[in-house]
Amino acid sequence: MTGLSNRRARIGRLLAFLLTLAAAMAIASAAANGADDHDRRAVARIAAPPLGLPPVPVPADNPVTAEKVALGRKLFMDRRLSRNSTMSCAMCHIPEQGFTNNELKTPVGVEGRSLRRNAPTILNVAYARAMFHDARDDFLETQVFGPLLARVEMANPSVGAVLATIRGLDDYAGLFERAFGGPANAHTLGQALATYQRTVLAANTPFDRWYYGGDQDAISPRAAAGFELFTGKAGCSACHLVGEESALFTDHGLHDTGVGYARETASDESVMVEIAPGVSVPVARAVIRSVGLPPEKDLGRLEVTDDPDDLYKYRTPSLRNVALTAPYMHDGSLQTLTDVVRFYDRGGVPHDGLDPLIEPLGLRDDEVAALVAFLESLTGEAIDDLIADARSVGVGG
């Protein structure tokens, strides 16, 4: 090992010990207060995030408790919170599909209404400095009202209507009072949902055990070569940052990669449509448009700021657990990690607004494969536990 690797390994071992101790203390505290096993473990994840993640930022006015976690999980999974009792948060952020939706480029909401953008994963959303692809909301506590009220998502007419629904459900009786000391209101509704989402943490990946834990056998030589490309020739780490003690794999910024430009300027030429696994046929774009409503424009961050410089800019996602969260890009237009790497290898979609960091890379096929192997090493070890946690909730009277 190099001197830096030795130092990182020592720090990793110390962190692992401290995190284990903090988790044990959090579990014991929650158990003493009567929390069930899933709630205790969720509180422990906040107290001691898995290897590779920094401390979880928690607002001073919304400390994590087992009661809030249980209530937020129940709300997240509850279809009765949509206007016609058919949609829950978890129907777009599906636990078994990386807390996103692997089956659709963009999700389907109430009454089959199509959304414009891909469902972002909530894995590690606790660290997001802004939510949604256009970064239009700065706080996890307030972003929940967007989906609850959006006409194409859960379609509630008002926050008051959501609260009236909750107050009318017998199985919510006393839950807000136990978690917050009073009845449900807009403030505590946002706090409960945010608290649960903060617990959905996934790290201690093979990469983390290799890079931060000093286990040289944790990843394959191909994945290690991919990391060298990631931080070198391919330049990925310019936007997907890697720190010395932790990594969120994002700069929290917004960039124009050309995907938005390509979508809005697409020609009427044929596109390939997959009609069965591995079987695609060319279909005229006009035919596709004829079977549904005209696609809505998507101008990216410009829709938030009205600044022309923000046209087609979208938030840099974290790459943690990226192997679980296909399809990719803000519109779900790329199906595989190989597609994503080759997209950037080509230099994105050249146009006047393209981010200057994006340019052709000249990668060989073996280098593309190495980058994909590295990205596949970013899957957290506790995914099955997070799925079981989400599905542990009982909803309905």
Q: What residues are paired with 270 via a beta bridge?
A: 284
The b/e string for 29-61 (b: 16+ C-beta within 10 A; e otherwise) is bbeeeebeebbbbbbbbbbbbbbbbeebebeee
Q: How far apart are the C-alpha atoms of 102 and 94, rounded to whole Å?
A: 9
Q: How far apart are the C-alpha atoms of 380 and 328, rounded to whole Å?
A: 18
Q: What are the tokens at 58?
A: 């928690």
Question: Would you give per-residue pLDDT tens digits along the chain (397 residues)?
Answer: 465 555 665 555 555 444 444 444 444 454 445 558 999 999 999 999 999 999 999 999 999 999 999 999 999 999 999 999 999 999 999 999 999 999 999 999 999 999 999 999 999 999 999 999 999 999 999 999 999 999 999 999 999 999 999 999 999 999 999 999 999 999 999 999 999 999 999 999 999 999 999 999 999 999 999 999 999 999 999 999 999 999 999 999 999 999 999 988 877 677 788 888 889 898 887 787 777 667 789 999 999 999 999 999 999 999 999 999 999 999 999 999 999 999 999 999 999 999 999 999 999 999 999 999 999 999 999 999 999 999 999 776 4
Q: By CB neighbour count within 10 A (0-12 exposed, 13-18 middle, 19+ buried), where does 306 fall?
A: exposed
Q: How far apart are the C-alpha atoms of 99 and 102, rounded to whole Å?
A: 9
Q: Please say whether the beta carbons of 183 and 167 come within 8 A.
A: yes
- Asked if the domains 16-202+382-390 and 228-263+300-376 are classified in one and the same CATH topology, the answer is yes
Q: How far apart are the C-alpha atoms of 304 and 236, rounded to whole Å?
A: 27
CA-only gyration radius of the chain, Å: 22
Q: Please say whether the beta carbons of 201 and 49 come within 8 A.
A: yes
Q: What amino acid is encoded at 84 in this protein?
A: N
Q: Is domain 16-202+382-390 given the CATH code 1.10.10.10 in the classification?
A: no
Instruction: Compute the half-sphere exposure of residue 123: CA atoms within 13 Å on the CB side of its CA.
Output: 34
Q: How far apart are the C-alpha atoms of 313 and 299, rounded to whole Å?
A: 8
Q: What are the tokens at 318?
A: 């974290």
228-263+300-376 CATH: 1.10.760.10
Domain spans, the chain: 16-202+382-390, 228-263+300-376
